[in-house]
């Protein structure tokens, strides 16, 4: 298909509105969350607001913020990553929301607890312990503390408080970071969850903390305030990890989360075009939608020719043909498409795609990671 025809088709397929509870989106393009570390002391400043506003001006329908720490001492591992508690940080986020809305965009914060991914002695609370389901790191080494019931209750309350703050500040929903080997995912994955209590064992038990966090957030916000849950099979440093090996196991994982109040699943893969299970070409987002009946967001090297690690090795970076993505979206395999690094390379990526100006797209280059404004 010619580039001109591809451009017209992209505009038609992606430039359709979509609604999720109280959230009304102007198109199907989502900005994926990307850690930036441009918030000294955990406070997002005017530069952060302009960073997101530029992508809203550039046509993105929904922006998901970088991960932002919930109010728990062990939640973070950097004092440059924004937090989602405290008057100073929340005041900064209020300005972010205002600017994005002024540009016609919609925005949700990603609420985050890193769990065992925290480095010992790291800020923002250097003396906070490393905590997780079993005190195990991704290699299975016992380098932290297994969480007590009090710890679990405190974390659940922290996420719920973050959800309530998000609605109060005017955000359009929230995303819970349950992917990539961070705290919630550490409970979901048998590699890091060796508990023998109600939070460990089979998939349903391992999903208990995620479900409790979701339910607490649901109670803390309005019934139509969207809750998005980000999930992945892979983990940071463990790309071959699997939460589930079959559609049946995926069902066992999704059911308690859906019952707890998840409205949409954001399914993180490294290559969106790869099938998740044998005997089907559905990707992870496609399977999650089929099983749960919930709207899904797909993500994974959208706008890049190669999977993202290749970009940093200097072998990727070209803009990919968009046709295979549109094929899947047209047949409703998933509902929304999240774009990450391509939007770093070109803040106007969405507008150019929606206008059919794909020949004007600016490729992402690895050295842009040094200047993510």
pLDDT for the residue numbered 194: 97
pLDDT for the residue numbered 3: 52
Q: Which of 266, 246, 268 is CA-nearest to residue 257?
A: 266
Residue 237: which pLDDT band, with cuts at 50, 70 and 90?
confident
- Say if CB 239 and CB 280 are below 8 A apart: no
Residue 314 reports pLDDT greater than 50: no
Least reliable range by pLDDT among 22-31, 117-126, 191-200, 352-361: 352-361
Q: Which residues contact 330 (CB under 8 A, 6 or more apart)?
A: 13
> Using one digit for the tens of pLDDT, what is the confidence trace for 72-94?
999 999 999 999 999 999 999 99
What is the SS3 assignment for 365? Answer: coil
pLDDT for the residue numbered 313: 39
Average pLDDT over residues 67-71: 98
pLDDT for the residue numbered 8: 83
Please give the sequence-ordered ranges of beta strands (E in DSSP) within the chain, or none if there are none: 18-20, 23-25, 29-31, 62-69, 106-112, 131-132, 145-146, 174-177, 227-232, 264-268, 296-299, 336-339
Average pLDDT over residues 291-295: 98
pLDDT for the residue numbered 319: 43
pLDDT for the residue numbered 161: 98
Q: Which residues contact 109 (CB under 8 A, 6 or more apart)?
A: 64, 65, 68, 84, 93, 162, 166, 171, 174, 175
Distances (CA, A) of 186 to 155, 200, 210, 232, 241: 14, 11, 10, 11, 12
Strand-pair partners of 107: 63
Do the strands 227-232 and 131-132 form a parallel or antiparallel pair, or are they unpaired?
unpaired
Domains and CATH numbers, the chain: 3-370 (3.20.20.70)
- Say if CB 235 and CB 181 are below 8 A apart: yes
Residue 303: which pLDDT band, with cuts at 50, 70 and 90?
low
> Using one digit for the tens of pLDDT, what is the confidence trace for 183-234?
999 999 999 999 999 999 999 999 999 999 999 999 999 999 999 999 999 9
Residue 316 reports pLDDT greater than 50: no
343 vs 167 pLDDT, higher one: 167
Residue 342: which pLDDT band, with cuts at 50, 70 and 90?
confident
pLDDT for the residue numbered 344: 87
Average pLDDT over residues 269-289: 91
Q: Which of 274, 251, 254, 257 is CA-nearest to residue 217?
A: 257
- Say if CB 31 and CB 59 are below 8 A apart: no
Residue 362: which pLDDT band, with cuts at 50, 70 and 90?
confident
41 vs 325 pLDDT, higher one: 41
Residue 366 reports pLDDT greater than 70: no
Residues assigned a catalytic role: 182
- Say if CB 67 and CB 81 are below 8 A apart: yes
pLDDT for the residue numbered 309: 35
- Say if CB 225 and CB 22 are below 8 A apart: yes
Do the strands 23-25 and 18-20 form a parallel or antiparallel pair, or are they unpaired?
antiparallel
Residue 369 reports pLDDT greater than 60: no
d(C-alpha 278, C-alpha 246), whole Å: 9
d(C-alpha 211, C-alpha 256), whole Å: 6
Residue 363: which pLDDT band, with cuts at 50, 70 and 90?
confident
Percent of the chain with pLDDT strictly greater than 70: 90
pLDDT for the residue numbered 315: 45
349 vs 52 pLDDT, higher one: 52
């Amino acid at each position: 298909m010619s580039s001109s025809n591809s451009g017209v088709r992209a505009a038609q397929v992606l430039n359709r509105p979509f609604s999720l509870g109280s959230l009304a989106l102007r198109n199907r393009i989502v900005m994926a969350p990307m850690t930036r570390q441009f918030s000294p002391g955990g406070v997002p400043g005017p530069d952060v607001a302009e960073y997101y506003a530029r992508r809203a001006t550039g046509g993105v329908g929904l922006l998901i913020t970088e991960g932002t720490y919930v109010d728990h001492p062990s939640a973070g591992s950097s004092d440059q990553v924004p937090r989602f508690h405290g008057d100073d940080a929340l005041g900064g986020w209020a300005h972010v929301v205002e600017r994005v809305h002024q540009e016609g965009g919609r925005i949700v914060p990603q609420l985050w607890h890193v769990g065992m991914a925290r480095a010992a002695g790291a800020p923002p609370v250097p003396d906070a312990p490393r905590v997780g389901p079993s005190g195990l790191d991704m290699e299975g080494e016992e380098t932290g503390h297994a969480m007590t019931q009090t710890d679990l209750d405190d974390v659940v309350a922290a996420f719920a408080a973050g959800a309530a703050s998000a609605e109060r500040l005017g955000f359009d929903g929230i995303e819970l970071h349950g992917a990539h080997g961070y705290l919630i995912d550490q409970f979901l994955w048998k590699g890091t969850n060796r508990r023998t209590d109600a939070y460990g064992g089979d998939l349903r038990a391992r999903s208990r903390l995620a479900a409790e966090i979701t339910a607490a957030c649901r109670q803390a916000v309005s019934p139509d305030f969207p809750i998005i849950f980000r999930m992945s099979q892979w983990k940071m440093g463990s790309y071959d990890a699997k939460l589930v090996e079959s559609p049946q196991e995926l069902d066992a994982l999704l059911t308690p989360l859906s019952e707890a109040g998840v409205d949409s699943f954001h399914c993180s893969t490294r290559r969106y075009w790869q099938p998740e299970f044998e005997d089907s070409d559905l990707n992870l987002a496609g399977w999650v939608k089929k099983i749960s009946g919930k709207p899904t967001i797909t993500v994974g090297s959208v706008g890049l020719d190669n999977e993202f690690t290749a970009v940093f090795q200097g072998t990727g970076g070209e803009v990919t043909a968009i046709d295979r993505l549109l094929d899947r979206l047209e047949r409703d395999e998933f509902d929304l498409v999240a774009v990450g690094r391509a939007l770093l390379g070109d803040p106007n990526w969405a507008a150019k795609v929606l206008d059919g100006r794909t020949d004007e797209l600016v490729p992402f280059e690895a050295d842009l990671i040094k200047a993510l404004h």
